[in-house]
């Protein structure tokens, strides 16, 4: 039996300097272990929904109303303007542009170790590097990537790396925001295969944000439409 992991009720979000809301009265729910797509055209408010789920509305100067329930805890955006505040262990995001999410002056190893230190405090470097290598292996990247800078990697490799960072703490919900947009079809298929295996292995739920209907239907068992009609 699968329960509801995420429920979004009447989510409306407006950026402070915008006249019209970016997201209007959005409702959907996602069951434990489900893969759901949030599909709509560019500008429909899809990434804005991801920011709300990541607790980043204030950082983007956006104001929301409505309710978000995750794993039994409900946040009313009028009372908690930041949105949902769950740790990377529970909800993780693979952003659209992995280049902007990765620090350009850090090697992959430095980025991964810093993330572990931020989440876990001090610890054995050797043990952590072993974990980094295992994570890279999971997304089919060679361990040599640890010594690379983001600009030295291809777009597909950077997306794989973003996925490795996102699954580092076995999140219950993985949000993919146009995670394979701009990659060629073979690389996309390969990365989606990796995500599918990870999902089966880890029992994660997936929210796939995409403008690509073909992709949404190929990867997810259900689709929620956003924007299009009224935006
Ligand atoms: P999508 O991900 O579906 O392409 P977005 O959530 O990025 O849509 O954007 C939805 C709307 O909000 C668009 O009209 C966009 O211009 C606007 N928007 C996005 N980010 C900001 C921001 N930081 N400040 C003001 N408006 C924004």
Average confidence (pLDDT) over 155-164: 91
At residue 175, φ and ψ (nearest 5 deg) are: -100, 125
C-alpha closest to that of 175 among 25, 5, 15 = 5
What percent of the chain is modeled with pLDDT above 90? Answer: 75
pLDDT of 95 reads 87
pLDDT of 174 reads 96
Substitution candidate for ligand 1 out of 11, 12, 15 with most atoms within 8 A of CB: 15
As a whole number of angstroms, the distance between CA 153 and CA 131 comes to: 20
- Tell how far CA 228 is from the center of its chain: 22
108 has a pLDDT exceeding 60: yes
Sequential DSSP letters for 108-167: HHHHHHHHHHHHH-S--HHHHHHHHHHHHHHTT--GGGGG--GGGS-HHHHHHHHHHHHT
96 has a pLDDT exceeding 90: no
Q: Closest residue (by CA) to atom 6 of ligand 1?
A: 45
Average confidence (pLDDT) over 70-92: 88
CB 211 less than 6 A from any atom of ligand 1: no
As a whole number of angstroms, the distance between CA 15 and CA 62 comes to: 4
pLDDT of 138 reads 87
SS3 224: strand
Average confidence (pLDDT) over 78-102: 82
Q: How confident is the model at residue 5 (pLDDT cuts 50, 70, 90)?
A: very high
CB 54 less than 6 A from any atom of ligand 1: no
Are 113 and 125 in contact by the 8 Å Cβ rule? The answer is: yes
Residue pLDDT, tens place only, 12-59: 999 999 999 999 999 999 999 999 999 999 999 999 999 999 999 999
pTM of the predicted model over 0.85: yes
- Inter-CA distances, 206 with 12, 13, 153, Å: 22, 22, 26
As a whole number of angstroms, the distance between CA 215 and CA 148 comes to: 30
As a whole number of angstroms, the distance between CA 172 and CA 33 comes to: 8
Q: Closest residue (by CA) to atom 17 of ligand 1?
A: 22
pLDDT of 1 reads 46
C-alpha closest to that of 219 among 90, 155, 198 = 198
Q: How confident is the model at residue 182 (pLDDT cuts 50, 70, 90)?
A: confident
């Amino acid at each position: 039996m699968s329960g509801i992991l995420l429920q979004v009720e009447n989510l409306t979000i407006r950026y402070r300097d915008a006249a019209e809301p970016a997201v209007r009265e959005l409702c959907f729910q996602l069951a434990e272990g489900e893969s759901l797509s949030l599909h709509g055209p560019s500008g429909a408010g899809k990434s804005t929904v991801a920011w709300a789920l990541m607790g980043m509305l204030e950082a983007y100067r956006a104001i929301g109303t409505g309710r978000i329930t995750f794993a039994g805890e409900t946040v009313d955006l009028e009372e908690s303007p930041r949105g949902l505040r769950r740790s990377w262990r529970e909800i993780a995001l693979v952003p659209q542009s992995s280049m902007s999410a990765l620090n350009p002056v850090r090697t992959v190893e430095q980025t991964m170790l810093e993330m572990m230190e931020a989440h876990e405090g001090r610890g054995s470097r050797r043990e952590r590097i072993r974990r980094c290598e295992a994570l890279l292996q999971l997304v089919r990247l060679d361990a040599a990537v640890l010594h690379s800078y983001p600009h030295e990697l291809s777009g597909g490799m950077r997306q794989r790396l973003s996925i490795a960072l996102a699954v580092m703490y076995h999140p219950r919900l993985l949000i993919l925001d146009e995670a394979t947009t701009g990659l060629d079809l073979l690389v996309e298929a390969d990365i989606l295969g990796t995500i599918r295996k990870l999902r089966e292995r880890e029992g994660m739920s997936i929210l796939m944000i995409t403008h690509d209907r073909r992709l949404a239907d190929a990867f997810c068992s259900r689709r929620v439409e956003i924007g299009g009609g009224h935006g």
